[in-house]
Every structure is written in C-alpha cells, then in structure tokens.
Amino acid sequence: MPGELTFRLTASSNAQWPGCPSIDCECGRITVLLGANGTGKSQVLKALAKAPGTPGGTPGPRGAPPTPSAAALTAPAAGRKQVYVEGGRVVTPFRGTLNLPQILNQIESAKNWQPAQGGQRPKTPEEQYEASLTNQMSQRLTHGFQKLAVEADPHMRRSHAMMQAWQRGGMQGAPPHCDETPLDKVLRRFHLIFPEIDLKSDSANFAVSCHRGGNSYGVDALSDGERQVLAMLMDLTCCAPPDALFLIDEPELNLHPLLACRLWDVIETELPQAIFVYATHCISFAMRANVETQILLRPLGQPAQLLPDISDLDPQQAQEFLGAIPAIAIARNVVAVEGNRDSFDAVFYQWLLGDEYKVVPLGACESVCGAARGAGLWNKITLGVRIAGVVDRDYRTDAELDKLRNDGLVVLDFHEAESYLCEPALLYALSQNLGIKPGLLQAELEKNLFEFAGKHASETAFERTKRAFNYRFQLSSGKIDWGANPDRLTIEGWLATMAQSEVSKLGAMSAGTLIKLFGSEKERIEKLIATRDATELLRIVPGKEMLAEMIRLVGLRSPADCINSVSANMKPDDHPHLSGLKQQLLTAFGK
C-alpha cells in the first residue's frame, strides 16, 4: 500500500475486551471499519483509545505491567495524540497539549485564589471550554467562540507588528506571511462545507455573524445540522494537532449521512498528516473517495476481512451488512430505487421491467444518485453493470427535478410509484380481473380520486409551499393533525409563524408572500378537481395515502395486496402511463 502513513492495525479479544473482533490488516491514512451492529466496531476504537503507552492509555498498577489492550497500531499511527469522536457529536480531547487562551485576569484570578476567599475557585477559559463540550449547543458555541477569539488576538498582534516592521523597512521584498488564526480556520472550513454561508467574526465582541444571499443573522438561526457542524469544527480545531490520530465512532449518528461525509472530507483534506480510523455501518460514508482502506468486521470468532475489492465479500456477510451491493455486483442491468427490500417500489419496478432487470432498493435518494453516477466506490462494484436510478417526483420543485435529471436519474411523472396504480381505469380493470366487486363502476373510482384530492388540498398546498422555500415547520405540540380539518385562518397563522422563524435565513419572504403562494397552490388543485384532470392531480397529490383509500372500493386491504394483485393479473403495456414509464427506464439503459 503506497503512502508514508501506512500502518498495521491488530485487535483480538481478551478478558477485559471480550467483544473485540480479530483484526490484522495493513491500513492507509483513512481507514473505515465496516460492520453490522454487534460486530465490535466500537470495541476496537475504545481499545485503541485505552491502549497502554499511548496518550489516554491505561497504565498498570504500580510495579505491575500495563493492562493488556485488545487493539494496537504500529508506527506511524502509534504514539500520536488521540482525538476520540463519539456519535458524530462528542469530542474527547487528549490532555495537556491544548493551546490555551491567555485571558490574564481570569488566569491570574484562578492562580491566586485561596480557600480563605470563600466560594469556588474561578474557572480558567480552557476549563470553561472543556466543560462546555458536553453542555447545550448554544453554550458550547459561545464558549468556543470566546476561546478562539482570544487565541486569535496574539496572532493578529504579531501580524500587525510584522506588517509595521515591513513598512518601516521601506516595504522591501514580499509582505510578511501572516498565519491563519484558529478562528479563521473554523470559519473557512465551515464555508467549505456550506459554500452558500459566509461566517464573519467580530473579535472585539466575541461574536460571529452569518451571511447568506445578502442577509445577515446570528449563529442561533443556523439549522441544527449547521450548528452541529460548526461545533464539531470548533472542537476539532481547538483539540486536534495537525498530526493527531482520530478515532471516530459512527460519524453519521447525529448528522445526516451526506453532511457527515462533507464534514470529514474537509477535515481529512485540511489535516493531511493526521490519521483517521472510523467505525460505521453506513455504506455511503465508507464509499467516499478519500477512504483508502475498508475492513469488514465479521461475526465474533471470525477474522476481519480487508476489502481491496467489493467482490471479495462473503455473500451472506455482504447481504447482512451491505444489503443491496451484492445484488448490484452480480447483476448486469440494475434499477436503483428508493425504499427498502420489502417496499412497494421494489415489487412495482420488478413487475414493470421483468426478470431481465434487477431492482435494488438503496434507501435514500442520495444513495440512488451515487449508484447512478458511479460516484466514489460505486466504481469498484459496478464494473460491467448498467445502473438506472429512479426517484419519486414527491413535492420537489422544478429546479430540484431538473438537477436530478441532470444527474442522470429518471424522475417519475407522477408523485410517487403508488400514484401509477391510482389511475381509475387501471383499478377498474383490476377489479374486473379479480371479480371481488363486480358491480364497481369506473366512475366511482374517479369520484373517489377527486374527493381525496379535495379533502387533502390544504395539506398538499401547504407541503408544496414549504418545499418551494426549503422551509421546516412543526407545531410545538407535535405533528400537524390534518384530520382535524384546520380552517384557512389557522393555516395562514402557521405560514406566518414559519415566515417569522425562517425569513432571516432565506430572504425577505413575508408572511403575505407565503400565504399568497399557498393560496395559488390550493387554487390550482381546486381547478384541477373542477376540470376533472386526474393525470395532473396524480403529479401533485401524494399517492401512498390515495392508493390506500381507493383500493377499498376494489376490495383490497393494503397497497401491498394491490401491487401483488396487479403483478399477477395485469401487464404494464396495457396502460399508457405505465408503458411510458417503462420506456423511460429502458431508454436509460440505452434501449
């Protein structure tokens, strides 16, 4: 394995670590331990963190040898200062090497304090910061900014003195190089992860402001994910030397997987001399382009497996952990869809295309995009495999749909897969085949479709309004109860509340503008109902709930019963919209 930062990782169980797996692998600078729950991923990282003779290690009793560890690293990973990150949230720094802020009055007060003075000894700035690592996010950010701003002060003073000396010397040669302050590093790294947001510091007031799209707002107005990333960057900048050994347990646990990928991609790039060992069961995180080594942890008692190529996977282990990937690796034509193995989508698309094509549910839309584009390690497992990705239209905006199409995905013409079975003509034909409700008329199904759309018009318009501006909204009491039929005044109150909480981040979007957009969306739905435009309604109104209601007229109990009955009794080519979708997918395969 090329590279100066290659090392060997070994692990085995012992009396203190009975759940530790057996590992003996050569590793690169960025290594991922992959494993299902219960395979000992976290045990390995904890054993490494407590290895004797390393920072944070476990010494033996006086006069006794050190307590044996279950895991070890060879040089150059061994002996480095460690930073342990648990669950993508809590950073545990090594002790004794933090670059502490020099706030003289606080330090002097803490140093000179005597018990006779009464009360408690004042905390130094670093004590306040370290205590805040486990505190609420707002307090954690406040203490972190104070610490970083004070650390920046001597940097700025030195830079100012160097610049003055250069000017006094007649500005001969190049201007002096000024080192980047820790605070500047945090703000720059945050911008790398969120390019649309600029963070600017006011060192005099220990404050940071956010700037996006011409608007300014405070850090408290950042989303939960954005604040979590900011706190992580702050902690890592404060706690980690450039050549640290990072031990990261489940980095995606408290962050969206894509956000976790972006965060650690940036940190890995910014710290090229650091070594990273991750433990995760998130395949998209393990498949990042930066990752050099993947180690698959097997059931206890079986040795771990180095994965130079996905084809080396044991089929049963691969199915348990990697889920869809073995199916992709052995297929020639793969349709990557959202959902899970037992979902409606998997059965629907298999019926639509037939056995020549392997339908593989990959969960989230982002995974479908990655497979369709061949991004990251998908290249390793998709050699010789043609993949077409298909995603729901959902409430996505036209701009979002265009981006998905540009990424090579097939976007449904209807709201979601279930919507295709809501066509009255199809359900009527199904009822005739099944013979359960022989007296059912197609007109009854059409009436049911329009009644459903009318009943859910406000909810659909509200969701489309939210999506248009990427707004989030939830009542303090919990999920909105649309079954209670809230009146327009109540909905407009929600829109006003949403505008109040989001406007500072996303532009001067007044409550009146949101209410107007909601009104136009609802008016559009009502017009489609009045003109009996079922096709356009199937693009807008959610299909899962609609299908669940309409199939009762046919005598079926669930959407699963419906797709099973359709696949056994009907042909896609007999129905224009299904035939059109089938052709879209075949075209994606070049047919």
Q: Would you state the pLDDT for residue 257?
A: 79
pLDDT band at 478 (very low <50, low <70, confident <90, very high): very low
Q: Calculate the alpha carbon distances from 15 to 12, 42, 301, 377 in Å.
A: 10, 17, 15, 37
Q: Would you state the pLDDT for residue 241?
A: 87
Q: Are the C-beta atoms of residues 460 and 525 closer than 8 Å to each other?
A: yes
DSSP-based three-state secondary structure for 86: strand
Whole-angstrom Cα distance, residue 69 to residue 63? 18
pLDDT over 60 at 54, yes or no: no
Q: Would you state the pLDDT for residue 422?
A: 96
Q: What is the mean pLDDT of residues 263-288?
A: 88
Residue type at 500 in one-letter notation: Q
Q: Would you state the pLDDT for residue 335?
A: 87
Helices (H), 407-487: 424-434, 442-455, 457-468
The end-to-end CA distance of the chain, in Å, is: 41
Q: Are the C-beta atoms of residues 293 and 309 closer than 8 Å to each other?
A: no
- Asked, as a colleague might, if the bond just before 303 is cis with ω within 30 of 0, I would say no
pLDDT band at 57 (very low <50, low <70, confident <90, very high): very low
Whole-angstrom Cα distance, residue 336 to residue 121? 61
Average pLDDT over all residues of the chain? 77
Q: Are the C-beta atoms of residues 193 and 229 closer than 8 Å to each other?
A: yes
pLDDT over 90 at 534, yes or no: yes
pLDDT band at 509 (very low <50, low <70, confident <90, very high): low
Q: Would you state the pLDDT for residue 571?
A: 93
Q: Would you state the pLDDT for residue 101?
A: 34
pLDDT digits (tens, 9 = 90+) for 82-91: 888 886 555 5
Two tokens, residue 35: 């494993």
Q: Would you state the pLDDT for residue 118?
A: 62
pLDDT digits (tens, 9 = 90+) for 192-241: 999 889 888 765 555 678 888 888 888 778 887 888 888 888 888 777 88
Q: Could you give phi then psi for residue 174, rounded to 5 degrees?
A: -70, 150
Q: Would you state the pLDDT for residue 315?
A: 44
pLDDT band at 111 (very low <50, low <70, confident <90, very high): low
Residue type at 229 in one-letter notation: V
Q: Would you state the pLDDT for residue 497?
A: 74
pLDDT band at 30 (very low <50, low <70, confident <90, very high): very high
The pTM is what? 0.50
Q: Please write down the long-range contacts of 390-398, taking CB distance under 8 Å and 24 or more positions apart.
A: 390/335, 390/336, 390/337, 390/349, 390/585, 391/337, 391/338, 391/365, 392/338, 392/416, 392/417, 393/539, 395/463, 395/464, 395/466, 395/467, 396/467, 397/467, 397/468
pLDDT digits (tens, 9 = 90+) for 147-192: 666 665 565 566 656 666 666 777 677 666 566 778 888 888 988 9
Q: What is the mean pLDDT of residues 529-549?
A: 95
DSSP-based three-state secondary structure for 5: coil
Helices (H), 50-136: 104-112, 125-132
Whole-angstrom Cα distance, residue 210 to residue 406? 31
Whole-angstrom Cα distance, residue 38 to residue 121? 45
| Between 140 and 134, the higher pLDDT residue | 140
Q: What is the mean pLDDT of residues 246-260?
A: 85
pLDDT band at 518 (very low <50, low <70, confident <90, very high): confident
Q: Are the C-beta atoms of residues 229 and 195 closer than 8 Å to each other?
A: no
Nearest C-alpha neighbor of 199 from the set 141, 129, 156, 155 = 141
Structural domains present in the chain: 7-97+244-296 (3.40.50.300), 127-237 (no CATH), 324-411 (no CATH), 417-499+507-570 (no CATH)
pLDDT band at 475 (very low <50, low <70, confident <90, very high): very low
Tokens 């059931």, located at residue = 299
pLDDT band at 341 (very low <50, low <70, confident <90, very high): low
Q: In what order do the strands lie in the sheet with 207-212?
A: 198-202, 207-212, 215-218
Strands 7-11 and 23-27: antiparallel
Q: Would you state the pLDDT for residue 224?
A: 79
Q: What is the mean pLDDT of residues 140-151?
A: 61
303-312, 491-500, 515-524: segment of lowest average pLDDT: 303-312
Q: Which helix (H) or strand (E) covers residue 83, if one does?
A: strand 82-86
pLDDT digits (tens, 9 = 90+) for 286-324: 878 788 898 888 766 678 878 755 444 444 444 433 555
Most confident of 166-170, 435-439, 556-560: 556-560
Whole-angstrom Cα distance, residue 388 to residue 321? 23
